[in-house]
Structure 1
Amino acid sequence: MTHVIITGGSSGIGLALARFYASRGARISLLARTLPLLEAAHAVLAKSGNADAIHVESADVADEGQIGAAIARCEEAFGPCDILITCAGIVQPGLFEAVSPDAFNRQLQTNLFGSIHAVRSVYAGMKQRRAGRIMLVSSGAGLIGIYGYTAYSASKFALHGFAEALRSEARPHGVKISVCFPPDTETPQFIRELEHRPLEAAVIMGRVAPWTSDAVAGRIARAIDRGRFEVFFGWTLWALGRFGSTAKPFLNWWFDRAILRIGRSR
């Protein structure tokens, strides 16, 4: 039976993925910081499947020791990890000089190093077994820098580079690495993010309806099945991923003009 480990699995995309894999009869291990949310997620999943196939661990992915120990307990419970999906992430929009160093670093530690810590915990075993799949969850903000998202974009761009380099190392050993770039998605974190999103960022990003967590999760799971490396959502992010170096000069020119107009109207 497939063992799927999902960081950030207590809500949003992570929980949607857990529901998807539970419907397939997989063993699911969920990791997140907040134990009550994990227990609530366990209860939700248990209603539609086998409660004994759901394992939860409270851990902070930014702490390498915590995440390593938590994943070891997951593998002790359900066997080696077959699929790792790193959904854990945080976003705190704000101008660079207004975001505290602690808040800036927290986004880097969680979004980038949290994923790296999780990968490190399963990678050696996957290589030894010559089997395993890893999906790193980046963001559309990992394809183009967004006004007010200096920390978040930095962490998600870096995750893409990590995925590209690791893919080359892992491929000869039978381990498949993937990275996805979700758009705005209906999650509890997205609601909190909107409260702090700068007007300039809102204008630049436009009034595009957010995707549902289930729609994003379904595309991620299908990409894992097919062994795809990069996963985009919608034609805009696909174009950025495929033709970003050509399109970004024009986009940045347009962004600059929009930002200037907002500044003049204040």
Structure 2
Amino acid sequence: MTHVLITGGSSGIGLEVARIYVGRGHRVSLIARGLAALDAAKVSLETEGGGQVQVAAADVADADAVQAAIRACETVFGPCDILICSAGIVAPARFEDQTAADADRQVAVNLSGSMHSVRAVYASMLARHQGRIMLVSSGAGLMGIPGYAAYCASKFALRGFAEALRSEAKPRGVVVSICFPPDTQTPQLERERAARPAEAEVIMGQVKPWKAEAVARQMVRALDQGRFEVYFGLTLLALGRLAPLVRPFVDRYFDRLIRGVQR
């Protein structure tokens, strides 16, 4: 039976991905920081029936903690077959206003946390010559957004990690994917928008937030098909595939909008 392990699985996109795999009858492990939220997610998923669910609390920024949590999950459900790195945080602020601690925390969770999670399952996948990994970047991993300097840095870096890891893993039977979701209707989005600078809202408000279920469906479909990159909507597809060509035009357009806000 397939073992799917999801970091950041207690809410939002991660929880919706879990819902799909539980519906398929798979074994699903959820990892997040808050045990209460994890327990609530487990009850919700088990009520719907299908697969088996277990949870483990850990901060993905702590390499030892996330490794221990994953080992505990694998002891019960067997080696991880599919890893979804969905744990992430965002703290919008203009760069000059953001503390070093807040900036570092975003990099630690979004980038290092994904690397820690992959490292915990990667050797076993290589040994078995099979496994699938989905890294969750962001539309902010395709273009710089004012008020999101640290967040963009962490999500841009994930793409470099994914590209390098894909080249290493593919000949050895392990499939690596990365997705770039837009604003998505999650509890985190509501908290984020309250702190979002006006300049950022001018840019990000151009795209209507997606439902978490729709994002999850596309992610799982891409994993089923073994696709490397997953984009959501034509705007992000164009940025992902044609960025060097369209970026000057996009920048000029948004620069005008931002100047209007700052007047």
Per the normalisation by structure 1, the TM-score is: 0.97
1:57 match: secondary structure = strand
Written as runs of structure 1 = structure 2, the 5 A alignment for 1:96-245 is: 96-245=95-244
Give the corresponding residue for 1:8. 8
Q: Which residue of the partner structure matches residue 259 of structure 2? A: 260
Of all paired residues, the percent bearing the same amino acid is 59
> Once the 2 structures are TM-superposed, how far is the Cα of residue 50 of structure 1 from its aligned partner?
5.0
Match of 1:27 in 2: 27
Deviation, 1:251, is: 1.1
1:168 offset after TM fit, Å?
Answer: 0.2
Equivalence for 1:45: 45
Report the Cα offset of residue 156 of structure 1: 0.2
For 2:48, the aligned partner's letter is S
Aligned residue type for 1:254? Y
Long gaps (5+) in structure 1: none
3-state SS of 1:241 partner: helix
Provide the C-alpha distance between the structure 2 equivalents of 1:215 and 1:161, rounded to a whole number of angstroms: 26
CA offsets 1:151-189 (integer angstroms, 9 cap, x no match): 110000000100000000001110000000001100000
Does the aligned pair in 1 maintain the 2:183–2:204 contact within 8 Å? no
SS of aligned partner of 2:91: coil
Cα distance 1:165–1:137, how it changes in 2: closer, same or farther (>3 A)? Answer: same
CA distance in 2, matches of 1:197, 1:68: 33
Number of positions where the alignment pairs a residue of Structure 1 with one of Structure 2:
263
Task: Give the 3-state SS of the residue equivalent to 1:195 in structure 2.
Answer: helix
CA displacement at 1:205 relative to structure 2: 2.1
Amino acid at match of 1:139: S
Aligned AA for 2:69?
Answer: A
The CA deviation at 1:262 is 1.6
* CA deviations over 1:121-140 (Å, ceiling 9, x no partner): 00000000000000000000
Taking structure 2 as the reference length, the TM-score comes to 0.98
2:7–2:87 contact (8 Å) kept in structure 1: yes
Q: CA deviation at 1:263?
A: 1.5
Report how far residue 191 of structure 1 moved.
0.7
Partner amino acid, structure 1, of 2:32? A
Q: Unpaired runs of 5+ in structure 2? A: none
CA distance in 2, matches of 1:120, 1:35: 23
* Cα separation, 2, equivalents of 1:50 and 1:145: 41
Aligned to 1:72: 71
How far does the alpha carbon of each residue in 1:217-261 deviate from its partner, in whole angstroms, 9 at most, with x for none? 000000000000000000000000000011111111122222222
Aligned-CA RMSD value: 0.9
Q: Hey, what's the Cα distance between the residues in 1 that align with 2:49 and 2:117?
A: 26
| One-letter amino acid matched to 1:184 | D
Shift of 1:34: 0.3
State the Cα distance separating 1:208 from its structure 2 match.
2.7
For each residue in 1:58-96, what CA deviation from the matched residue of structure 2 results, as whole angstroms up to 9, or x when unmatched? Answer: 000000000000000111010000000000000010100
Letter in 2 for 1:4: V
8 Å CA contact 2:23, 2:50 repeated in 1: no
1:92 is aligned to 2:100 = no
